[in-house]
A = this chain, B = another copy of it.
Amino acid sequence: MPTQSWTIIDADKNHFDADFAAHGSLRPGMPDGWSIKHRVLRGGKSDGVSLIELNNGRMTLAVLPTRGMGIWRAWMDGKELGWRSPVRGPVHPRYVPLFDPSGLGWLEGFDELVVRCGLASNGAPDCDEQGHLRYPLHGRIANLPATRVEAAVDEEAATITLRGVVEETRFLFHALRLSAAVTTSFNSTSFTLDDQVQNVGGKAAAIQMLYHINIGQPLLDPGSHLVAPIAKVAPRDKHAAEGMGSWRTIAAPMANYEEQVYFAELTGDDDGNTQVLLKNSAGNAGAQVRCSKQTLPYFVLWKNTVALPDGYVVGLEPATNFPNPHAVEARHRRVVNLPAGQSWRNTLHLDWLTSTDEVRTAEQQINALEGNTQPDIFDHPLPDW
């Protein structure tokens, strides 16, 4: 039997397997060492959160069906990939005041390694003409629960996959469906997100997506560095412009540091494939993101190297657009227009590099992508960005 699959949650059928568990020794002849485990958290702001752990034999991913299929954290060899937000989650959406009139309530649920921002919008809060919040910060999808979750093990491909369906629907406005899959190979230190956003409504819709990939300690340290095939880069605002001279380099934790954000376009290969690397100061560990400029044409670096208790973190954020208010991005045609029934599809890989060799190889690949391109480096914000 090459593939085995299980339905863990199916709201339409009122199916919810709160204690689902599967592992390699289930059946003779199956590869061993992996496991998939579902539990529902209790207590505090996590009360009621579904958390599914995928263990590929080497690395464990914690996936959050209750929070839009985000990836909470990853663990390997006693190390953790992720960051320490002052928000101690995972936080159930009921405790996230998303529609706080300031539009900033999303910040009360933010502590994941990978958070999707979208689907109707993914950027800063946007207000309508009356001044009423229309789109809250970073959108809704990370605070919506999956209606269906399935796990699968493909013995031939030697992979574990978790698929979830999350709907972001407002009657009269939009009906969007995210089908999110995370796949990891047995014993690998990588995982892949295969996402599809479908306009399941009967009229055209505009969508946005941003992958907010957040790296903190232990990987992140002073002197960590962004390696990326830059075609064009500019600071988001005046404050970021002040740090332009060292925009690729990560500073030590500093109290009252104010976030600095850089907007970029990357170079890619002939098919648009590109990759970025955040390597540590020693150059023997890194987090690499691989994706395609065809679906994610923009890249954002978010430096938030505040004091440790405030969440020392850097975000690697490939996106369909820049995280400005929705109206700004719409004016600059940086939204994805989906006719009724149509889908946007995207594949993104996250590699957890754990040796000097792996880091060097990644740097060489990125250098090759950059080739002879002379990057356009702006030291002031760009009016169109």
* Chain A residues engaging chain B, CB cutoff 8 angstroms: 9-12, 14-16, 39, 41-48, 85-88, 93-95, 97-102, 104-105, 107-108, 110-111, 127-128, 130-134, 144-148, 167, 169-173, 175, 200-203, 253, 255-256, 259, 306-311, 340-341
Inter-chain contact A16/B42, CB cutoff 8 Å: yes
- Alpha-carbon distance A362/B45, docked complex (angstroms): 41
Inter-chain contact A169/B86, CB cutoff 8 Å: yes
Chain B positions within 8 Å of A95 at CB level = 93, 144-145
Known A-B contacts A47-B145, A145-B44; the reply to A132 vs B101 at CB < 8 A is yes
Inter-chain contact A340/B147, CB cutoff 8 Å: no
Inter-chain contact A311/B171, CB cutoff 8 Å: yes
- Alpha-carbon distance A93/B96, docked complex (angstroms): 11
Chain B positions within 8 Å of A172 at CB level = 107, 259, 310
- Alpha-carbon distance A14/B172, docked complex (angstroms): 39
- Alpha-carbon distance A200/B311, docked complex (angstroms): 11
Minimum CB–CB distance for A84 against chain B, Å: 11
Known A-B contacts A170-B108, A171-B86, A173-B107; the reply to A310 vs B203 at CB < 8 A is yes
- Alpha-carbon distance A43/B38, docked complex (angstroms): 13
Chain B positions within 8 Å of A203 at CB level = 255-256, 306-307, 310
Inter-chain contact B44/A146, CB cutoff 8 Å: yes
- Alpha-carbon distance A11/B173, docked complex (angstroms): 36
Chain B positions within 8 Å of A127 at CB level = 130
Inter-chain contact B44/A11, CB cutoff 8 Å: yes
Chain B positions within 8 Å of A46 at CB level = 11, 14
Chain B positions within 8 Å of A14 at CB level = 39, 41-43, 46
Inter-chain contact A45/B147, CB cutoff 8 Å: yes
Chain B positions within 8 Å of A104 at CB level = 170, 173
Chain B positions within 8 Å of A133 at CB level = 100-102, 132
Inter-chain contact B43/A175, CB cutoff 8 Å: no
Inter-chain contact B11/A110, CB cutoff 8 Å: no
Chain B positions within 8 Å of A101 at CB level = 99, 101, 132-133
Q: Which of B41, B102, B147, B259 contacts A128 (CB 8 A)?
A: B102
Minimum CB–CB distance for A327 against chain B, Å: 15
Residue on B with the closest CB to A12?
B88
Of A85, A111, A203, A253, the most chain B CB neighbours within 10 A belong to A203
